[in-house]
Copies of this chain bind each other. A is one copy, B any other.
Amino acid sequence: MVTMSDVAREAGVSTMTVSNVLNGHRRVVAPTRDRVMTAIEKLGYEVNLTARHLRSGRTDTIALIVPSFHDYFSEVADRIAPIVEASGRHLVLERTGARPESEIESLSVARLQMYDGVVLSVAGLDRDQLETVRTRAPIVLLGEREVPARFDHVRLANEEGARLATAHMLARGARRVLVLGGAPGDASGMASLRRAGWEAAHRAAGVPADGALVVPVTTYSARESREVLGGLLEAGLRVDGVFAVTDTVALGAMAALADRGIGVPDDVQVVGFDDLDVGKYLSPSLTTIDPNHDEVARSAIRLLERRMAGDDDPPERVVVPVRLVARGSTRP
């Protein structure tokens, strides 16, 4: 392996001069710099980033840690990448996977040290697990769970989005709106917040909210959603609207309705949440809540940059506003 001292010897300078030519921290006069560059070319030298990291204490790399590489997360990742790169850093993705022990492992101080900053998606982590995350590495949490007060946190306006979705259908004549993937009770997770929005819309419209229409799911997959809604329809449940808590759930719901020849939006209206690209291409196209990925990405990186700059103001909680995108799965 070619090292900096090989280059220094070849160019007749010290290693510091080579270092300065490479990272530009100090001025090097042109003739010297040219000699160094020539030596670098000739020897095919490349800086050893590991050594640089050990010495400088910085990696110029930010990690985005997500539960899976799919759907919502790949959308956010593709938005965060250019923002991170604009400040001359790299973004890498790591996956926590489904297993709790893997989640904890990704969060170990040892792994986190590898990065100048970390954006951690908290889906799949509960509050107790988050409590155990002890690190001085700047970290911003992303997602719909309740998190300990000491973290910066970016999340969506869940309740408001669910309220918009439900109100849109109620205003178009729906009277029995099922919330697929909603959770009863007053927990603070995504499923409960979105169910609360569904309830708020009913209150505002003066329509009674039937608890039998709150239907939880466990995996939030299209497959499960299709099976669950299909089973309820077979069992004779009557609905004229479905608020699916994610677009993936909505996809399964649309399939369950199509399986039975139930017309959308004439017989049943459907609204999702996430504005996945695929929604535009379904027939009918999917009315949904746009979660404003760009704003989520910008906010997360803004908070992270602030921490990386050494700011130690109290943690900030950002709630990103959302908006309804009306398409063909609801009535005009």
Interface residues of A (CB under 8 A from B): 44, 46-51, 53-54, 59, 63, 68-70, 74, 77-78, 81-82, 85, 90-95, 97, 102, 108-111, 113-114, 134, 222-223, 226, 251-252, 254-255, 258, 277-278, 280-283
Contact = CB atoms under 8 A, between A and B. Distances in A.
5 contacts: A49-B111, A50-B59, A78-B95, A91-B95, A222-B278
Contacts of A110: 46-49
Copies of this chain present: 2
B222 A46 contact: no
A54 to B, nearest CB: 5
Contacts of A82: 97
Contacts of A278: 222, 251, 278
Given A46-B108, A51-B54, A81 B97 contact: yes
Contacts of A47: 110
Judged by DSSP, the binding face of A is helix
Contacts of A258: 283
A278 B113 CA distance: 38
A117 to B, nearest CB: 15
Contact of A281 (B54, B77, B109, B226): B226
Given A68-B78, A69-B69, A78-B95, 16 more contacts: A49-B110, A49-B113, A50-B54, A54-B54, A74-B74, A81-B95, A90-B111, A91-B95, A92-B93, A93-B93, A222-B281, A251-B278, A251-B281, A254-B281, A255-B280, A258-B283
A134 B44 contact: yes
A90 B85 contact: no
